[in-house]
Amino acid sequence: MSITVKIINQSNNPLPEYATASSAGLDLRAFLEAPVTLQSLERTLIPTGLFMELPEGYEAQVRPRSGLAIKQGLTLLNTPGTIDADYRGEIKIIVINLSNEPQTIHSGDRIAQMIIAPYLQVHMLEVTLLTDTTRGSGGFGHTGKS
């Protein structure tokens, strides 16, 4: 399946790619004029230079990369971020530094991954009674510890 995209400055900002033949996520790169340093617990919006036109019925989920999380404590604050099919703005990534040290992001760094997935829109049909189940309203640990 093809998706129409626009990218700023493609000579040094390549299109997102799948790292391996079966990768689920396309790696997203930071597109920055200068490196950005995040202090411990600081968050910021990192531009990618990427714009997309998703087909109707598809979303993109923006998720953290495990290597960045374990090595640098960098993750995404709103994971998974949702890119709507009708969004035409630049895709930006909300990065937070959960480590104790400052962390620097350079232009071209792969800061997140993006999964394209189908979604359903539903009609909310209101009723006064829902059907009974064994679980009922049990939740939040109701079935035990292990």
Ligand X SMILES: O=c1ccn([C@H]2C[C@H](O)[C@@H](COP(=O)(O)OP(=O)(O)OP(=O)(O)O)O2)c(=O)[nH]1
The nearest distance, CB 58 to ligand X, in angstroms, is 12
CA distances for 130 relative to 136, 137, 143, angstroms? 10, 11, 21
Q: For ligand X, which is the closer residue by CB, 59 or 72? A: 59
Member of 25, 49, 64, 81 binding ligand X (CB under 6 A) = 81
> Strand pairing of 43-47 and 36-38?
unpaired
Per DSSP, the three-state class of 63 is strand
- 84 in a known ligand binding site: yes
What are φ and ψ of residue 81, in 5° steps?
Answer: -70, 145
Tokens 């997935």 sit on residue: 117
Member of 23, 66, 82, 104 binding ligand X (CB under 6 A) = 82
Cis preceding linkage at 80, omega within 30? yes
- 82 in a known ligand binding site: yes
The nearest distance, CB 23 to ligand X, in angstroms, is 19
**64 makes contact with ligand X (CB under 6 A):** no
The residues that touch ligand X, with contacts defined as CB under 6 A, are 62, 78, 81-84, 87, 91-94
Name the binding residues for substrate: 65-67, 78, 82-84
